[in-house]
Amino acid sequence: MTMSKNVKHGLMLCALGLSLAIPGIAVAQDTGAHAAGLTGRAEAGKLDYRRWCVGCHGEEGNGEGNNAQWIDPKPRDFTTALFRWRSTPTGSLPTDQDLYDTITRGVVDTFMPSWRPLTPQERVDLVAYIKTFSTKWQTQKPGTPIAIPPEPPTTIESVLRGRETFDKLQCWKCHGPEGRGDGPSAVTLTDDKGLPIRPYNFHDGTRFRCGETNQDLYKIFMTGLDGTPMPSFVDNLKPEEAWDLVHFLRTLQPHVKSQSRDLWLEYVKTHKDIKPIGADSAGQ
Amino acid sequence: MRIKFGLALVTLILAGSAMLVTGARPAGSGTITGKATFTGTPPKMRPIDMSKEPYCQKLHNPPIKTQDVEAGPGDTLKDVVVYISAGDEGAATPSTPVRFDQKGCEYLPHVLTMEANQPLQIYTDDPVAHNIHPMPKLNEEWNKSQPPGAPPIDVKWDKAEFIPVKCNIHPWMHGYFVVLKTSHYGVTGDDGTYAIKNVPAGKYTLTAWQEHMGTLTQQVTVSGGEAKADFQFHALPY
């Protein structure tokens, strides 16, 4: 079964010719991925994608796998390169680490499980493969992550300032005056695909979809969640105001033990004349 | 020999692209004018219920209507963008910003036209918070909040595209950023007419776009004076 040198050369040339002739069909290039101190390759990630991800995210990465019709929220469509959980500003690509973190963490309250059972190398290979579904990864660089300065101490003053910000920025229009996700605009919200989407109910869960730390919470409203109605507030908030808001938002979570909530509960015991959120706007 | 040829080619390409960038071409003296009309039954525009935002509701009495199809007397159409889609040589991008306003929970104008890379400034006058959420496919999608008193948002779009924009907080607020590759465009007014000025003599493809009825094209020849190009859309109810 030995091939003559000429035949071999001929075959190689043919292959080369084909690959040059149909550049448009070659879906995308492997731009690689760098996360968790590892380097990922799309070719290596393809196998795992086809085994574990294709059922929901689809062969073409458009979020239309066989299971997608039964799933809500819908699986992410990678062809738009639009991602919610980023460390980068609105309108920019996430970092490889952002995508790696989402795969690792999973998305609470959805069908997306945590993929910790895969090795870190397998996960970073998956990141590289996911990036082949949109050519944006070849033409653009991820945004520069938004800086998160160290968290100042939680005080009742900080909580109260955060409460004013929540009122002033009108977060309650969607999230509701008590953070129950029942503000006046809540029922009309849709995501980019036109599907109804609910604002986060702080009373409900304990975790956010992109993590559970105060830094994660800070990131959510500063970067915004692209593809959803949640905008970025980075141009409207100074870092210290953003931290105040984090401290206030923690008071809305009865199932999460926090210093903010303890301070707030103490405060309301002795202050009966607290101005309700949204009061200024009512009947304006 | 080959090197010489290559150099010549590179020079040619560079010169060509420099011409494009600097817009080295005479400003034309021709004008294209016309009217946009429709036949058929257009969808009915509904009064907008702003009861979820009492401040804005009070400003509009009677309530304003949806603006997907703005029909005028004589079946004319407002907010139709007419532009040269082929044959234009291109010109330098204007540095004058175009202005987009949010006033009383309404987008002014409903359809805003600009050139690729032209600065766009988004203002709010309202004492209620808005979020600006353009949803392009070719350009980058973003979503920014603009609370009362916030400074204008400065932005540019680098690719030509019809970009739907909306406010998620007030879902009736939606409009279009129309980003074009040409400086030769017009938008029809209340009477359905438009005018495209300073067009050099030549043969062009003219496209008219209406957000609900799509696009129409026709060829037009400009030879110094005024050229006419009317567009008749066909309207179907939803």
> Is there a contact between A85 and A102 (Cβ–Cβ < 8 Å)?
yes
Mean pLDDT confidence for B200-214: 96
**What percent of chain B lies above the pLDDT cut of 70?**
89
Rounded-to-10 torsion of CA B181, B186, B187, B192: -150
Q: What is the pLDDT of residue B92?
A: 87
Distance CA B106, CA B167 (A): 10
Nearest 5°: the CA angle A34, A27, A62 is 85
Give per-residue pLDDT as tens, A80-135: 999 999 999 999 999 999 999 999 999 998 999 999 999 999 999 999 999 999 99
Give per-residue pLDDT as tens, A227-238: 999 999 999 999
Asked if residue A56 has pLDDT above 90, the reply is yes
> Is there a contact between A192 and A227 (Cβ–Cβ < 8 Å)?
yes
Mean pLDDT of chain B: 90
Mean pLDDT confidence for B30-36: 97
Asked if residue A18 has pLDDT above 50, the reply is no
Mutation target to probe the A interface, by most A beta carbons within 10 A, among B122, B144, B156 is B144
Asked if the C-beta of A281 comes within 8 angstroms of chain B's C-beta atoms, the answer is: yes
Give per-residue pLDDT as tens, A175-189: 999 999 999 999 999
B4 Cβ contact partners less than 8 Å away, ≥ 6 residues apart: none
Distance CA A3, CA A12 (A): 12
Give per-residue pLDDT as tens, B81-136: 999 999 998 778 999 999 999 999 999 999 999 999 999 999 999 999 999 999 99
pLDDT band at B65 (very low <50, low <70, confident <90, very high): very high
End-to-end, the C-alpha distance of chain B in Å comes to 65
Q: Which of A168, A231, A235 sits opposite B133 (nearest CB)?
A: A231
> Is there a contact between B35 and B206 (Cβ–Cβ < 8 Å)?
no
Residues in chain A closer than 8 A to B171 (CB atoms): 185, 188-190
Amino acid present at B22: T
Asked if the C-beta of A135 comes within 8 angstroms of chain B's C-beta atoms, the answer is: no
Asked if residue A2 has pLDDT above 70, the reply is no
A71 Cβ contact partners less than 8 Å away, ≥ 6 residues apart: A56, A110, A111
B→A interface, C-beta within 8 Å: 52-55, 127-129, 131-133, 135, 137, 140-148, 150, 153, 168-171
**ipTM for the complex?**
0.85
Mean pLDDT of chain A: 90
Scanning the structure block, which residue is given the tokens 């309250």? A109
Tell me the helices (H) and strands (E) count for chain A, helix number first: 11, 2
Q: Which of B55, B144, B147 sits opposite A168 (nearest CB)?
A: B147
> Is there a contact between B158 and B115 (Cβ–Cβ < 8 Å)?
no
Phi, psi dihedral angles at A91 (to 5 degrees):
90, 0
Mean pLDDT confidence for B36-56: 94
Phi, psi dihedral angles at A249 (to 5 degrees):
-60, -30
Residues in chain A closer than 8 A to B129 (CB atoms): 169-170, 173
> Is there a contact between B82 and B187 (Cβ–Cβ < 8 Å)?
yes
Give per-residue pLDDT as tens, B169-181: 999 999 999 999 9
Phi, psi dihedral angles at B179 (to 5 degrees):
-105, 120
pLDDT band at A11 (very low <50, low <70, confident <90, very high): low
Structural domains for chain B? 28-235 (2.60.40.420)
Distance CA B123, CA B116 (A): 20
User: Among A265, A170, A272, A154, which residue's Cα sits nearest to residue A221?
Assistant: A170
Asked if residue A4 has pLDDT above 90, the reply is no
Omega of the bond prior to A73 within 30 degrees of 0, cis? yes
CB contact under 8 Å between A231 and B168, yes or no, is yes
Give per-residue pLDDT as tens, A219-266: 999 999 999 999 999 999 999 999 999 999 999 999 999 999 999 999
Asked if residue B48 has pLDDT above 90, the reply is yes
Say which range, A26-30, A39-43, B133-137, has the weakest mean pLDDT: A26-30
Structural domains for chain A? 33-139 (1.10.760.10), 156-270 (1.10.760.10)
Beta bridge partners of B107: B102
CB contact under 8 Å between B143 and A169, yes or no, is no
